[in-house]
């Protein structure tokens, strides 16, 4: 955690998210892995690394997410796990003082398992669904994992406390703080469908289909992938 090696791997495998609505989840315990991986995995690693980090005056790089403040629908448990991470390490920042430094990273959409369409479905099984990927990501640009990793390493080397990649995504935090009702309305409009309609008919996906902007907004290697289940 005090080293930057294989950071691209960490960013690329930062966890998956449930894609069904919370009320559709058949058994809550089937999706507890989201919290186990994102939150408890970080807690346990930090607990055992503390003495070594104190000795080396190391730095903890926390891979949270902009989802920690953006209430995207169908991602409630994922959002909660990332929010928990952020608040946990904010508290540790105070407890550690100057002994152990902390850099909190909050990326937007990055090349990852999720942006390749891999989700946990309502039964708790892993599924690859590009149509629902297009619903969730929509017209939000997806940055390359290499660019994200470089930004994190460079920011951590400069001693930055917070890193948001891409940098423009910081404005979404201000949207959430100053006009939460507008953010909620837009997300509901883009990502949800009415009763009796397929979730794949969401407006965000229709915009991608009609405009073809996916070729501009998504890296080439995640634009079209073979659909499969796991």
Residue 61 has pLDDT above 90, yes or no: yes
Beta strand spans in 24-93 (E): 59-63
Cis bond before residue 87 (omega within 30° of 0): no
Least confident of 18-22, 46-50, 81-85, 174-178: 18-22
Tell me the pLDDT of the chain averaged across its residues.
88
Q: Would you say residue 18 has pLDDT above 90?
A: no
pLDDT of residue 105 exceeding 70, the answer is yes
pLDDT band at 14 (very low <50, low <70, confident <90, very high): very low
pLDDT recorded at residue 229: 44
Q: Does residue 92 contact residue 104 with C-beta atoms inside 8 Å?
A: no
Based on the residue annotation, tell me whether 78 is a catalytic residue of this protein.
Answer: yes
* Structure letter (DSSP) for residue 192: -
Of the candidates 191, 187, 186, 211, the one whose C-alpha atom is nearest the C-alpha of residue 203 is 191
Above 90 in pLDDT, residue 3? no
**CB-based contacts of 127: which residues, under 8 Å, 6+ apart?**
19, 118, 119, 120, 121, 229, 230
Output the pTM of the full model. 0.86
Q: Is the pLDDT of residue 15 over 70?
A: no
pLDDT of residue 217: 94
Q: What percent of the chain has pLDDT over 70?
A: 90
Across 33-45, average pLDDT? 94
Catalytic choice (78, 162, 173, 218): 78
């Amino acid at each position: 955690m005090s080293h930057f090696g294989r950071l691209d791997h960490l960013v690329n495998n930062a966890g998956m998210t449930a894609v069904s609505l919370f009320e559709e989840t058949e058994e809550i315990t089937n999706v507890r892995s989201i919290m186990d991986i994102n939150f408890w995995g970080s807690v346990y690693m930090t607990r055992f690394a503390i003495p070594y980090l104190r000795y080396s005056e190391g730095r903890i790089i926390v891979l949270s997410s902009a989802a920690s403040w953006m209430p995207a629908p169908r991602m409630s448990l994922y959002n909660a796990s990332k929010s928990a991470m952020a608040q946990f390490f904010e508290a540790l920042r105070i407890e550690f003082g100057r002994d152990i430094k902390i850099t909190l990273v909050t990326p937007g959409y990055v090349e990852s398992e999720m942006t390749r369409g891999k989700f946990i479905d309502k039964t708790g099984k892993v599924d690859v669904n590009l149509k629902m990927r297009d619903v969730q990501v929509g017209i939000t640009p997806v940055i390359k994992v290499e660019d994200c990793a470089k930004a994190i390493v460079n920011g951590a080397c400069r001693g930055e406390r917070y890193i948001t990649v891409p940098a423009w995504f910081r404005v979404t935090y201000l949207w959430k703080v100053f006009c939460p009702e507008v953010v909620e309305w837009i997300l509901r409009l883009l990502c949800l469908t009415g009763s009796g309609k397929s979730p794949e008919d969401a407006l965000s996906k229709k915009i991608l289909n009609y405009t073809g902007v996916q070729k501009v907004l998504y890296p080439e290697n995640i634009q079209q992938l073979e659909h499969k289940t796991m």
